Every structure is written in C-alpha cells, then in structure tokens.
Amino acid sequence: MIGDMRGNLKRVFLPAVLVAGMTAAGFQIGRAAGKPLFAPAASGLSPDANGAALQAFAAMDPIDTHVHAFQTDPAFTDLMSRLQLHVLDICVADTHGIYSKLATELARAKDFVAASSGHARLCVTFDPFTFQQKEFAQNTVKQLHQQFAEGAVAVKIWKNIGMELKTPDGKYLMPDDPVFEPIYREIAAENRTLVAHVAEPSSCWQPPDPNSPDYDYYKENPEWYMYLHPDHPRKETILAARDHLLAENPQLRVVGAHLGSMETDVDEIAKRFDLYPNFAVDTAARMEYLMLAPREKVRNFLIKYQDRVLYGTDLEFLNGEATPDALKDWQETYARDWKFLATDQKLQLRGREIEGLNLPEPVLRRIFHDNAVRWIPGIAVSPK
Ligand SMILES: [Zn+2]
C-alpha cells in the first residue's frame, strides 16, 4: 500500500471522462455473449460504461496479485466471483498508520481469505523490527514454515527495510543484509515467492510536484517523503541492495512490487529482467506511470517481457471501510486498467488524453493470469 490510490483515482478518473458507450467489440475473448454480467440490476452499482470492460476482464480469469483486504463482506466474495477474480491479499509490517498491529492485521487477512470461496490467497509478512534479536531468523523461518503449511503462498518485505530500520552502528538496514538470508532460503526451499516493495517512486526524492501521481501520498505521509529527509539512503543505494539480493538468491522468485520501484523508465526494468531471471514485477499503484510514459515504448516493453509483468492494483478493503465505496473503487480500477491495456480507447489522465495499448490477446492472458500462476504458485486454486 502506498499510493493513496483511491484519492488519485477519484480525482483524475471521474466517470464522466471515461469514454461512454464502448462495447466489447474486438474482444471476443472466451466468454460467449449472453446475460450481461454487470447489468445494473445484477450488481446494484450501475457500472454502465464499465460493464463491457469488466466482462472482458472477467473472461481472462484475472488475478490481482496485490491487494490489501482486511475486512470480510459477502458482497466482496460476490464481486470476486462475478469477476472470476483471484487476489493475493498482502500483509504489511508497519509500525504506524493503518497497519499498526501485525497479529490483528494477519487475523483479518486470514478471515478475508477464509470467506473468499477460494478467490483469495494469503501473502504473509514478518516483523523486521526484531532483526537484532539473536533468534530473529530462526524464529521467522519457523513461523513462515507454519504459515506455508496453512496455505500462505508468498511473503512480503516492505520499504521500511532500506528506508527506516537501522543497524546498531547507525547504517540503514538493507534488503540484502545477511540477517535475512536464512529467511530468503526458507522461502525458496518451500517454493514460495517473495513480494518485495523496496524503495519508493523517484518522486519520493524530488521536490513536490502537484502533477506527480504520488503528490498526495507524500503530502499525507511526510515521514516517507525522502525529499524532506536527505540523511536517508538514496534510491539508487536501496535498489542496488535489492539487485544484490536477486543475484545472491537465484533460486528465490522475487516479484518487485510497484514496477520494482522503476516506474519512470521501463528500460530500467528491462535491464534487471535481462540480468536476473528470478525477477518479475507487479503493476500495483503504478499503472498511471505506464499510462503517462511513451505509448509505443511501454507497449513494446510489455510485449517483449510479457512473461515478467504481473497484474496488481494495490486496491484496499480496509477494516471499517464502507463496502459500497470499495466495491465501486475496485470495479472502476479494473475497468480502467482493462481499457488501458486491452483496448485502444481514449482515457483522460491528468489533463492528458491517453490511448489504450491494445495489447495482443496472448500478452493480456499472461499479464492478467498466466504470469501470476507461474510466479506465485498456488495463487489461483479454483474455487470449490
Ligand atoms: Zn501495497
């Protein structure tokens, strides 16, 4: 979770700007025409302009590899079922904000997964703040072993490693620190996946820019705004440590969350893909960057590396959040992302007109489904 994505979406993606009246023409992908899945009467949410997009999206058996859901509601299970959607529900070890108590958060995520009729799987995490304790790695390995046995398919590390935690000699603890090595070995040995949110968007180190997709997030979370904390590590330093982790652990599958924090230039991502066969990225909360980048460049990148990019959103369903708001947000996001990746429709973003990438169907299948299954085994076991 990073991007106050909901706020951004609401501000820049007013339904009025979405191209109305589009149809699924050109998208005969699997689902036979018939009863519309998202007729207003069926969903109660009148997603008229989005209905066709969501229907085509659903026909992909889509997998969202990056959500944060900590509340249970049958309406959500119903949405996932109608969208034929599988999600990876990701826990985050934070000391402040919405993720304050890891045990509570984990329990809520487990409840969401248990109530999901097989549509959600769990990505656990561990408390890195105890890294100086003698038994840290041993205890964490033991805990992960148990959680894997209970069905967890992935483990998340977060940006506090590299940007917040310090070693006793005053250096920032980096993701390639030897203290984590037994943990990475355990994840690889059990054929699970590491989801690595390492570093932040480049805007985190740059002066405030109201046009940045992350402007609101850093305004609201100044503690994470490294422009205000020049004593903290540079982005390059943190990503170098991440790259070192990839090199040191060739047996470990790593999914770099948020385009691996290389959101401003897909060439940087390509460079890592060429160097590290164990590395993939998710698109969570960074689709806007792909939308704002040169269209042909992004399109060629996604085609060339079609087996390395996993669809993810960073969508939230937080404890106490109103279900209708979340349902609306999830559907709008899925519809927007579908239109951008799968069609040549025009979308409005930050005062610009964006043309959809119109990616070939086999590429869409990999991004929306196949890559998740391959990089995060167990993520989409069919609902019973
Ligand atoms: Zn996230």
The CA 23 to ligand 1 mean position distance, Å, reads 31
pLDDT tens for each residue of 106-142? 999 999 999 999 999 999 999 999 999 999 999 999 9
pLDDT for 351 equals 87
Q: Ligand 1 centroid to 292 CA: how many Å?
A: 21
pTM of the model: 0.88
| 109 touches 91 (CB < 8 A) | yes
The CA distance from 207 to 195, in Å, is 29
Query: What pLDDT shows up at residue 8?
Result: 39
Bridge pairing between strands 120-125 and 63-69: unpaired
Distance from CA of residue 130 to its chain's centroid? 26
Q: How far is the CA of 2 from the centre of ligand 1 (A)?
A: 6
CA 313 / ligand 1 centre spacing (Å): 8
C-alpha 27 to ligand 1 mean position (Å): 30
Q: Are 85 and 53 in contact (CB under 8 A)?
A: no
For the chain, list residues with pLDDT below 70: 1-48, 96-100, 382-384
Rounded to whole angstroms, the Cα distance separating 179 from 339 reads 43
- What is the CA(69)–ligand 1 centre distance, in A? 10
> What is the model's pLDDT at position 31?
34
pLDDT at res. 156: 97
Read off the pLDDT of residues 250-278 as tens digits, 9 standing for 90 and up.
999 999 999 999 999 999 999 999 999 99
Q: What is the pLDDT of residue 100?
A: 60
Tokens of 138: 């041993």
Placement of tokens 């248990």 in the chain: 114
CA of 67 to the centre of ligand 1 (A): 6
Q: Which two tokens stand for residue 227?
A: 């422009």
- Ligand 1 centroid–CA 197 distance in Å is 8
Output the 3-class SS for the chain. Answer: CCCCHHHHHHHHCCHHHCCCCCCCCCCCCCCCCCCCCCCHHHHCCCCHHHHHHHHHHHCCCCEEEEEEECCCCHHHHHHHHHCCCEEEEECCCCCCHHHCCHHHHHHHHHHHHHCCCCCEEEEEECCHHHCCCCCHHHHHHHHHHHHHHCCCCEEEECCHHHHCCECCCCCECCCCCHHHHHHHHHHHHCCCEEEECCCCCHHHHCCCCCCCCCHHHHHHCHHHCHHHCCCCCCHHHHHHHHHHHHHHCCCCEEEEHHHHCCCCCHHHHHHHHHHCCCEEEECCCCHHHHHHCCHHHHHHHHHHCCCCEECCCCEEECCCCCHHHHHHHHHHHHHHHHHHHHCCCEEEECCEEEECCCCCHHHHHHHHHHHHHHHCCCCCCCCC
CA–centroid distance, residue 312 to ligand 1 (Å): 9
| pLDDT value at residue 339 | 97
CB distance 350 to 93 below 8 Å: no
The pLDDT assigned to 381 comes to: 75
| Cα–ligand 1 centroid distance for 152 (angstroms) | 17
CA distance 120 to 113: 5
CA angle 27, 33, 36 (to 5 degrees): 100
Report the separation in Å between the CA atom of 45 and the middle of ligand 1, taken as the mean of its atom positions.
26
Predicted pLDDT of residue 315: 98
Tell me what pLDDT residue 14 has. Answer: 33
